[in-house]
Chains A and B, each alone.
Chain A
């Protein structure tokens, strides 16, 4: 086999890894859409906010320090302690639960029975509010996020595979962070599926997703379920924020990772957890292979963004509900 063949395999492997990272973002969208029919525009900003909060807690940053300083003329910025990563993640998860409660209590409780477009618009407002709130709370400088995840190509994989395609092949490059992200994503999906299948709250969540009114009639609290769903989406956003934040530092462009989730959702369906994963993998591999085989050699490169959407559109033509989405049949 030639070096090019093995480089093609390397591209596929890295596409799968990138797809896992896209799927992590898409999962949050799916959870909320499935349970409440809301397309949560704020999911990307939730990932940003959770990552900002995590770094802030880890570094002992004083929230709203700029605001406090400008009002009281003080010069405070840090508490002077560092919080271990695990504890900081737990505390951040707590903040995301609090956020979920606030979102339910102050926004969506007042919008029950409104049209989906109204709910969607509310999430746009929420996104901008959270972005500004995050800026005010934790400042906008770029922060390094180090929760102990290794980064860089795996020497072991490189050494084991170098020479497969002759001297021109340098071994497979697989980023260790991507491997960790893949493992985390698998665990996350198992937990989410097990939660929705085998717990009382999970079953209640599915009941609400199927029919709000029927769920209400058997005594399920809509408010509780929506807080639960937004909390789960917040936790998924935290995981996505950690993985993407470790790659690029925690900064406000992190919210743009939502753009990567949209073709995944179009392809995998808005209501399927496995769909988000499979959609992510297809988009990841598809865009990387296209860039490798056609984009870079013939089209000047940078084809990944538009190709992902084009791929999703092609799927939509043949399967409008996405690969795993529920087919909606409306009888006259």
Chain B
């Protein structure tokens, strides 16, 4: 009996963590129909955290730990993952799905854990006075719609009057997000808007592209994901729609989306939240400390791709928020509530980006209680099929706040009313 008790105590001692760590859950999807998009993001997120451990000894001397849970891009599984990992001291969730985000907003708020939905999720979460635990910096869907229209305005000497613009969208909460904004922008700028829905998964889009061929819009915008993107780009090429007039949101602009169409995808454009390509010093560090050291989350073959870079960027923003939280609260091993404070006080400057090996990679911005959504800036990138690479063709473009902010106010006020939240910043 004594031996058994000794063995039990020894087992407990061995199993107990020897030191605190900063836990970052990763609700990844490495399997299923959307795996090709989920893997590079998860790899980029994990590799950046590994880099911080290997190069800097963690953040503020505390090591980071990735807690990965497979969602398969399925909302129910995403919620299960959240419930299974929240008790591990998870600091911030990146749900990586608008459907999962909608489910997690009330849960995470009640649990006091912040969500970061970078470029997706509930757009009106920009209003931190209502959505205290949800952050969607540096830009959201409505910013994306406005950035695309502003790019077209630039191309048309400031006027889209009389032009026809079609929106091809995934027939889901995600795909429908930009419609209200585009309707507002259509009224403001006098262009004719046609919305064309594509059902999940989007493998067959003949009807939609025959409609586009009949109606001959001047421009097509796309809010797609997964196979819908690849099929849409191929169908656009099939009907010989000019690729330079076809613009996808940032979730329709990865290498995955254009490579299957080959040369036919040349000239296709998409928005992007951040820089593209491997010309940033950070990649050399990731290669040296993570890939070459055999500590990469994946095969190490995704480095520099759009979605890998996005995962890495999200991780960098999370790490900066941790540093901010550590400095605000004077403790290194922070809690989720302290992480929330760090996110709300986050300030990203060019100096910080350069210090992290990512000069000019994203916009400068400050987060505040009133603005959890950042500056709403985005790049436009264009695909070069011969070189097989994306090139940024614009500087950061601003969204039209006159149109977007009233929508944010109205939607967040409706959420506050239905959820019994009294908006306010303390």
Contacts and interface: CB of A to CB of B under 8 A. Distances in A.
Chains A and B come from one and the same complex: yes
Interface of A: 7, 10-11, 14, 17-18, 21, 66, 69, 73, 77, 131-132, 135, 139-146, 151-153, 170, 173, 175, 244, 247-249, 251-257, 260, 287-288, 291-292, 295-296, 300-302, 304-305
Contacts of B207: 11, 14, 287-288, 291-292, 295-296, 301, 304
B201 A18 contact: no
A170 B213 CA distance: 9
Contacts of B227: 248-249, 251, 253-254, 256
B237 A152 contact: yes
Interface of chain A, main secondary structure: helix
Contacts, number: 129
A247 B203 CA distance: 9
Given A132-B31, A253-B34, A260-B204, 12 more contacts: A151-B237, A151-B238, A151-B264, A152-B240, A173-B213, A247-B234, A249-B230, A251-B256, A253-B226, A253-B227, A256-B203, A292-B207
A140 B234 contact: no
A146 B230 CA distance: 15
Contacts of A73: 294
A237 to B, nearest CB: 16
Contact of A251 (B33, B206, B238): B33
A255 B32 CA distance: 9
| Pairs A-B, 9 closest by C-beta atoms | A249-B260, A253-B33, A302-B197, A253-B227, A301-B197, A302-B171, A302-B199, A140-B35, A291-B207
A18 B231 CA distance: 14
B3 interface: no
A164 B237 CA distance: 24
Contacts of B261: 249
Given A14-B206, A249-B259, A142 B36 contact: yes
Interface in B33-70: 33-36, 39
Interface string B234-267: 1001111000000000000000100111101000
Nearest to A7: B214
Contacts of B301: 77
A257 B260 contact: no
B199 A248 contact: no
A249 B261 CA distance: 8
B89 to A, nearest CB: 29
B411 to A, nearest CB: 21
Nearest to A292: B207
Contacts of B186: none
B198 interface: yes
A292 B214 CA distance: 11
A291 B261 CA distance: 26
B350 interface: no
Contacts of B201: 253, 256
Given A18-B206, A288-B206, A252 B299 contact: no
B416 interface: no
Nearest to A250: B260
18 contacts: A14-B206, A14-B210, A73-B294, A141-B39, A142-B259, A152-B237, A173-B238, A247-B203, A248-B203, A248-B227, A249-B261, A251-B36, A251-B227, A252-B31, A287-B207, A291-B207, A296-B211, A301-B207
A255 to B, nearest CB: 7
Given A288-B206, A302-B199, A69 B33 contact: no
Given A18-B206, A173-B213, A248-B203, A140 B39 contact: yes
A259 B239 CA distance: 26
A248 B231 contact: yes
B196 interface: yes
Contacts of A304: 199, 204, 207
B274 interface: no
B85 interface: no
A300 B237 contact: no
Contacts of A151: 234, 237-238, 264
Contacts of B39: 140-141
B371 interface: no
Interface residues of B, number: 43
B287 interface: no
A146 B299 CA distance: 25
A138 to B, nearest CB: 12
A249 B33 CA distance: 12
B97 interface: no
A257 B201 CA distance: 9
B347 interface: no
A247 B259 contact: no
Contacts of B299: 66, 69, 139
Given A301-B196, A305-B199, A153 B260 contact: no
A14 B235 CA distance: 13
**Which has the most chain A C-beta neighbours within 10 Å: B31, B206, B259, B264?**
B206
Nearest to A21: B204
A302 B198 contact: yes
A305 B208 CA distance: 13
A255 B31 CA distance: 13
Nearest to B170: A302
B116 interface: no
Nearest to B35: A140
**Which has the most chain B C-beta neighbours within 10 Å: A66, A247, A300?**
A247
B30 interface: yes
Nearest to B234: A247
Contact of B210 (A11, A142, A144, A152): A11
A251 B231 CA distance: 12
A146 B262 CA distance: 10
A43 B239 CA distance: 31
A5 to B, nearest CB: 13
Contacts of B31: 131-132, 135, 140, 252
Contacts of A17: 206
B298 to A, nearest CB: 8
Contacts of A173: 210, 213, 238-239
Interface string B256-293: 10011110100000000000000000000000000000
